[in-house]
Amino acid sequence: MADARAAMDGDRTLAYATLAPSFFLLVLLAAVPTVTVFATAMQDVGMGDMSGPYVGFENFAWALESQAFYTALWNTFVWVFGSVAIEMIFGLGLALLLNKTFLFRGVARAVILAPYLVPTVVAVLVWRYMFHDIVGIINAGLITVGVIDKPLLWLNSQSLAMTSVILVGVWKFFPFVVIALLGILQSIPQEQYEAAKIDGASGFQQFWRITLPYVMPVFLLTALLRTIWSFHKFEIIYLMTGGGPLDATTTLPILVYLKAFSDFEFGRGAAVAILTFTILIVFLGLYFLLIKRAEAHQ
């Protein structure tokens, strides 16, 4: 008994020793920058300064009283929930389609996954050219079929800029949803569908009673990941519109960048970053509750 306990203690020591380098690396890469951001948010730090006068929560007060912060917060919600909702619905539909057997299914899967492999900068440059009001193919196509009678200013209109950015985000990242959901769809036992057919269940009933309960945990987890990534997504919006026109596409990450590197107010930029982190933590908690309930009812 003593030998077994000693062996377990030795294994535990070896496990801790093996994990120690990863733990310290995680501290260096995550904890240290986080603490630095908190410290910066408590100071009045300008361009080229390593530190500045301590101002307490003044930067947070500015953010919570600033119209720019609430505009960016609203734009962030529109961007995140608009793009994620379309990605999840569109991705689920395509995953259900690709899960069926048909001619050239492999080719169809490869074509659908292609946007995810295109570098973001390349994708944005192509889409900016397509959205161009004079030479863009989107305006040309819509005019040809009679949907519009004059070119639209997709990226220079306050009412269309966010829609344009969301469309690009959906095109770029919906393949991730397809991959995740297609994997779980292929693991559903076919015997359940055969038994349902024998019992006279319709296609919708099979989807509602068999497919959806299996898919829901992965569906919610995928939505969680896409929400996290979209919430702090920077490059697509910045390269497409730079946050304009007139702050129409300025999200919280864009606001952090503008305050820090355009206005050189690093303390305020850090405060907005911390508030963004806090808001994201709240939504993560809600998502985990939904995932837990979905798994409990599976």
Same domain, 29 and 177: no
Q: Residue 240 region, left (φ>0) first, then alpha (ψ -120 to 50), else beta?
A: alpha
pLDDT score for 285? 83
- Residue 132 covered by a domain: no
Same domain, 82 and 8: no
**2 has a pLDDT exceeding 60:** no
Indicate whether 149 belongs to any domain: no
Residues 51, 93 share a domain? yes
Amino acid at 42: M
For 171-194, the pLDDT digits (tens) are: 999 999 999 999 889 888 888 888
Q: What is the pTM of this model?
A: 0.85
* 9 and 118 share one domain: no
> Which of 187, 190, 191, 217 is closest to 297 using CA atoms?
217
What domain range is 29 assigned to? 1-34
Please indicate whether residue 26 or residue 159 has the higher confidence score (pLDDT). 159
Asked whether 98 and 108 are in contact (CB, 8 A), the reply is yes
Q: What is the pLDDT of residues 240-275, one digit of tens each?
A: 999 988 899 999 999 999 998 888 889 999 999 999
| Nearest in space to 219 (alpha carbons), one of 81, 98, 88, 84 | 88
CB atoms inside a 10 Å sphere around CB 175: 20
User: Are 30 and 176 found together in one domain?
Assistant: no
> What is the spatial distance between Cα 142 and Cα 149, in angstroms, rounded to a whole number?
8
270 in a structural domain: yes
Q: Are residues 101 and 59 in the same domain?
A: yes
pLDDT, mean of residues 96-117: 86
Check whether 10 has a pLDDT greater than 70: no
CA distances from 58 to 191, 265, 270 (A): 63, 13, 12
User: How much is the average pLDDT of 201-224?
Assistant: 85
Lowest mean pLDDT among 46-60, 71-85, 106-120: 46-60
